[in-house]
Structure 1
Amino acid sequence: MVTVLNPRRIRSGAALAVACVAVLPLTAACGGGGTEPPQWADGVSASESPSPLPTPTDVETTSAAPTPTAVRTSRPAATTTAPASRPRTMGQRSTVTVSVSGGLAQSQTFTGLHQDGCGNPSWGLLTVRVNNAANVSSVTFRYQVRTPVPFSGSGSARTLGNDRGSWLASLGPFRADPRNSAGGAINVTAEAKFKDGSTRTARTTTSLKACRR
């Protein structure tokens, strides 16, 4: 039996095959051939929807903590009690002065004492005056002679009669010493002691004259 091929059918089949190859180059069959869906180049099935892009994580914004407000506390007014003032002593309530003069029946022009045998006067009259006379119990004095060879001493003053506001004492005479022939300063400190035991002092300065003999 001889089969006669239809040339028109052969040409249409060939054209169909060429079209399938051009349109679906990635398929294994065309025109109903094969049951699996086509594959993408990266191996992901066309029937599967691509995974969605990851959503950016929402950043939770936190507001800065409020700065605590300083609370001013009122302090109670400080109560200061003034210290009780102590009663002033007799010495604090008194004034004391001391001076040195040329002595009784001597010249009123006085610039200092001469060393014994080197001139006149060789001794001086020390006078201490206290305004709070009724409360004075005693008056003493001490002296320091600032010569090259220094020396010092002390003594007590006495009142004249009932006048306890004036206290008198003698200063000198001082022996002449060749080493002290140039003389020097005499510092005198008088101290009045009161009946309550308090004291008050006063100071003065005179000079020991140079000795030339």
Structure 2
Amino acid sequence: MVTVLNPRRIRSVAALAFACAAVLPLTAACGGGGNEPPQWADGVSASESPTVLPTPTEVGPTTSAPTPTAVRTSRPATTTSAPASRPRTMGQRSTLTVSVSGGLGQSRAFTGIHQDGCGNPSWGLVTVRVGSAANVSSVAFRYQVRTPVPFNGSGSARTLGDDRGSWLASLGPFRADSRNSAGGTINVTAEAKFKDGSTRTAKTSTSLKACRR
């Protein structure tokens, strides 16, 4: 039995075979053959999950950093230089003392003086001693008698020879006054004046004794 081939059919089969030959590699790559998964054009396996790009995070409006609060600091105490000390005067550099005694030739047991005619002694001796004798120009004193009828007075002192460190003066006698028969206190203030014009004072007190008529 002779099989007569149909030329038209032969051309169709040939075309089909040619097409399959051209498509076969692509089919194998797409899973048409074999057990390997198809490959993407860039060589990444289809079984691998594609890399998921992160979703851009929405950024809110930019907030400025808070302004730092200024811290108030205390200023260091202002130091002022001490004023230059002035030179001390002669009076400031000296010493001065004053006392009242019973006077020359009188009893040493002196407690005060009497008014004239009311007892003895009736006058006292004021003695002023100065530390810087060479710088003294003069010495004076004043007194205040605290009696019911008060009175006061003043006097000057004198030196003994060349000793300008000791100055003497008399206190009293005082005229008798019946209103002051009970006596009182006598306050004495001595003042020394120095060659530079400065002064220095000293004080003491004694008593005016009660009248003993």
For the criterion TM > 0.5, the same-fold answer is: yes
Query: How much does 1:67 deviate?
Result: 6.3
Deviations 1:85-111 (A, max 9, x none): 100000011110000000000000000
Which aligned pairs between 1:14-93 and structure 2 lie closer than 5 A?
A: 66=66, 68-71=68-71, 78=78, 80-93=80-93
Name 1:119's counterpart in structure 2.
119
For the Cα contact (< 8 Å) 2:101–2:108, is it kept in 1?
yes
- Residues 1:165 and 1:71: Cα distance change in structure 2 (over 3 Å): same
Name 1:10's counterpart in structure 2.
none
- Of all paired residues, the percent bearing the same amino acid is 88
Which aligned pairs between 1:99-110 and structure 2 lie closer than 5 A?
A: 99-110=99-110
Rounded to whole Å, the distance in 2 between the matches of 1:112 and 1:76 is 62
CA RMSD of aligned residues (A): 2.7
Query: How much does 1:81 deviate?
Result: 2.5
Query: How much does 1:192 deviate?
Result: 0.3
Deviations 1:76-134 (A, max 9, x none): 88553321110000001111000000000000000000111111100000000001100
Name 1:170's counterpart in structure 2.
170
Rounded to whole Å, the distance in 2 between the matches of 1:150 and 1:197 is 32
Rounded to whole Å, the distance in 1 between the matches of 2:104 and 2:166 is 15
Aligned amino acid, residue 118 of structure 2: C
Name 2:9's counterpart in structure 1.
none
Name 1:133's counterpart in structure 2.
133
Structure 2 residue ranges without an equivalent (≥5): 1-62
Deviations 1:45-64 (A, max 9, x none): xxxxxxxxxxxxxxxxxx8x
Rounded to whole Å, the distance in 2 between the matches of 1:182 and 1:75 is 68
SS of equivalent to 1:92? helix
Aligned amino acid, residue 100 of structure 1: V
Rounded to whole Å, the distance in 2 between the matches of 1:67 and 1:153 is 82
For the Cα contact (< 8 Å) 2:98–2:204, is it kept in 1?
yes
Name 1:201's counterpart in structure 2.
201
For the Cα contact (< 8 Å) 2:145–2:152, is it kept in 1?
yes
For the Cα contact (< 8 Å) 2:119–2:212, is it kept in 1?
no
Structure 1 residue ranges without an equivalent (≥5): 1-62
- Count how many residue pairs are aligned between Structure 1 and Structure 2: 154
SS of equivalent to 1:91? helix
Please give the TM-score of this superposition, normalised by the length of structure 2. 0.66
Rounded to whole Å, the distance in 2 between the matches of 1:93 and 1:74 is 44
Higher helix share: 2
Aligned amino acid, residue 94 of structure 1: S
